[in-house]
A and B are shown apart, each in its own frame.
Chain A
Amino acid sequence: MGIAVVVLSIVAGWFLARALTAGAWAGPRWASLLVEVSLGALIGPGLASVLFFVVAVAGAAGRGGALAAVALVLAVGAGVWWKFTPAVEAAPPASKGFPWAWALWICVGVGLVFLVMDFQTASSANPSGEWDAMSIWNLRARYVASGGELWHRALSSEIGGNLGGAQHPGYPLFLSGFLATAWSAEGAFDQVVPISVSLVFAMGALILLGASVACRKSVALGLLAWSVLLASEVFASQAAVQYSDLLQGFAFLATVVLLDVAADREEPRLWIAVGLAAGLACWIKNEGIPFTIAALAVAAWKSPKRGWVWIALGAAPGLVALAALKLMAQGREGVFPETVGEAVQKIAGAGRWWQAALGFGKAVYDAGNPWTHPVVLLVVLAMALGWVPAAERRARWWLWIPVAVTAAAEYGLYLVTTADLDWHISTSVSRLVAQLWPSLIWLVLVMLRTPEEFFAAPAAVGESKPAARKQGRRVH
């Protein structure tokens, strides 16, 4: 029953993703379908998590409450899909593809097999996940799932035995809430549930990255996006740990992708989708809060007049759930300074700036094996393909803002943390990089020309260059 809840939530999410984004994705049908399904794997579980949190707070957690929450998300999703999905014309076939795309498919397939083997090996050895799964995410899910007033414990500093770094009463509940939904429906704490959910979110981020690049740019560049992420140990190593970091990265990527497409088409339903993804981003981890603020601000700036209404409508579930949680949480995060003076004193320490910068630098260096490092792969692609024209780059620079703000906020936390800085950096910085990694790969790749451009026929007589470019063909 727990797995059925996971599947039904994804289906519900797909209904909403389809209704909100149908027709927005150019490129082959398989790619747009993968984008919709992966967005559904974020939206459906996110809404189920929010709704089950409400059910738990109402004291109704249990099999009936969990099934009712999922059924409601499914019914709303199906209703919206039935009522609002626009008719979509098939995208015109690409004029000419990359002749070696078949080889890239094989490479991606092989990489995917290794990723799945990696996941299976890690999950078999540690079915309860790693440290934070046991002490934060899965633990809090058990409290939320257990009915009655026990959900309070997930928001209380009484858990953790007064051990440093073990109390997080104000951590958002996307992952824990969704696990609790499935466990409640199951009636037991079946370890298969968090393992499956981890796989869904890791695959969701991976699929969304390549498929969205395939839709927005070209199939070959999408395949290369998958290759770069598959080469990223920082991503693979987080897939099976049952933490919230890849889910956070998934939400960041979904928001950036939706911002890009919404700004192009200016349809209200796309701005609702942007709000939904950005709102859910802050329901995952505290690192999502600066991202959500920046993404919503950017969305309001880029959306047409009164677009903020649609954005706010989409963001409401995540924002309201987070606000309620913060109001109900008992206790505070141990790593924040208690006074402004204490924070200023820490920021003034020049050594901390270097230490934090070196920590980030080392995490990026450790993101992959030196010979297959994802940064090296991106540099190779940039040198071979070249950048899109400056005007096109300028038109997309603002997509970097939410990611840059989040990176700055994460860096800033290291400057003010009251925990031992070495310990804090060593236990968290690679996960922060993992959160930003899929979005960074996407942002770099959409700034590159596509391999197809180098093989396409020249523009037909009388055809404008922009029109030819739109079809992915190289124009001299």
Chain B
Amino acid sequence: MANTNPTIVTAAALVVGVLGAFGALNSYNVSNNYSEQFPDAYGGGVAQVRFAPLLERVPPAATLGYFTDIQPSQKAYESAFLAAQYAVAPRVLVMVDAKTRPEWAVGNFSRPQDFAAAGAAHGYGTTADLGNGVVLFHRGAQ
């Protein structure tokens, strides 16, 4: 049977209004906790700082090879690549392998190591250590 009582309507409307505001507060709390826990969740912000020196050295239309010391099985592998790709766009990053070896390549390293040896393993020589684990390589410049 349909309700005809204005008091019930008023109560329901006010309950929905108040709960709506509390729902928004809850969403804010969830968002706040997530933001505190995961600032720059996928490394896009850090990547833009790390790869900034590269932008002056490589033209926007370039296709760059990419290799890293992060293993494909690691969770950070994909996000590190995508963050790097976003940071250097409109340049394109392609994974260096036996078939794909562009003239220039960038190394994205998670810790200090022998960058020259890492480049040589892929057939590239070091052109510039740009800091923060970002190294520019050139094919055949060993």
Task: Give me the interface of A with B, judged by CB distance under 8 Å.
Answer: 98-100, 103-104, 106-108, 110-112, 114-115, 117-118, 121-122, 124-131, 134-135, 138-139, 142-143, 145-146, 148-150, 153, 158-163, 166, 220, 223-224, 226-228, 230-233, 236-237, 240, 368-369, 371-374, 376-377, 380-381, 383-386, 451, 454-455
Contacts and interface: CB of A to CB of B under 8 A. Distances in A.
21 contacts: A100-B10, A111-B20, A111-B24, A112-B24, A115-B28, A148-B61, A150-B90, A153-B90, A158-B92, A163-B78, A224-B16, A224-B17, A227-B21, A231-B22, A236-B27, A237-B27, A371-B22, A374-B23, A381-B16, A386-B2, A451-B13
A136 to B, nearest CB: 9
Contacts of A135: 82, 85-86
A121 to B, nearest CB: 5
Nearest to B100: A162
A5 to B, nearest CB: 19
B3 A130 contact: no
B103 interface: no
Given A124-B35, A236-B31, A134 B83 contact: yes
Contact of A142 (B39, B66, B89): B89
Contacts of A145: 90
Contacts of B83: 134
Nearest to B30: A233
B76 interface: no
Contact of B3 (A99, A121, A161, A383): A383
B9 interface: yes
A143 B89 contact: yes
Given A117-B28, A159-B92, A381 B12 contact: yes
B24 A98 contact: no
Contacts of B32: 118, 121
B142 interface: no
A107 B42 CA distance: 35
Interface of B: 2-6, 8-28, 30-32, 34-36, 38-42, 44-45, 48, 60-61, 63, 66, 78-79, 81-83, 85-86, 89-90, 92-95
A146 B10 CA distance: 56
Contact of A108 (B17, B26, B35): B17
Nearest to A119: B31
Given A159-B85, A236-B27, A380-B12, A227 B17 contact: yes
A438 B25 CA distance: 19
B44 A110 contact: no
A377 B16 contact: yes
Contacts of B45: 126-128
B9 to A, nearest CB: 5
Given A115-B27, A138-B86, A454 B6 contact: yes
Contact of B24 (A118, A149, A153, A220): A118
Contacts of A117: 28
B40 A163 contact: no
A459 to B, nearest CB: 16
A365 B5 CA distance: 31
B24 A231 contact: yes
Contacts of A121: 28, 31-32, 35
Given A128-B48, A372-B22, A384 B41 contact: no
B13 A118 contact: no
A372 B23 contact: yes
Contacts of B39: 125-126
A230 B12 contact: no
B140 to A, nearest CB: 23
A161 B21 CA distance: 44
Given A128-B45, A224-B13, A385-B9, A230 B90 contact: no
A108 B20 contact: yes
Contact of A383 (B12, B21, B25, B26): B12
A32 to B, nearest CB: 23
A211 to B, nearest CB: 16
A131 B26 contact: no
A427 B68 CA distance: 26
B86 A134 contact: yes
Given A110-B24, A143-B90, A386-B2, A451 B30 contact: no
Contacts of B10: 99-100, 451
Given A117-B28, A161-B95, A384 B19 contact: no
A380 B14 contact: no
A107 B21 contact: yes
A454 B6 CA distance: 5
A2 to B, nearest CB: 17
Contacts of A128: 40, 42, 44-45, 48, 86
Contact of B61 (A114, A150, A160, A386): A150
A145 B86 CA distance: 14
Among A99, A125, A149, A232, chain B packs the most CB atoms within 10 A around the CB of A125
Contacts of A118: 24, 27-28, 31-32
A384 B17 contact: no
B94 A158 contact: yes
Given A114-B21, A146-B60, A161 B35 contact: no
A372 B13 contact: no
Contact of B40 (A126, A220, A384): A126
In the A-B complex, the 7 residue pairs with the closest CB atoms: A231-B23, A227-B20, A384-B12, A128-B44, A107-B17, A125-B35, A372-B23
A372 B10 CA distance: 18
Contacts of A127: 45
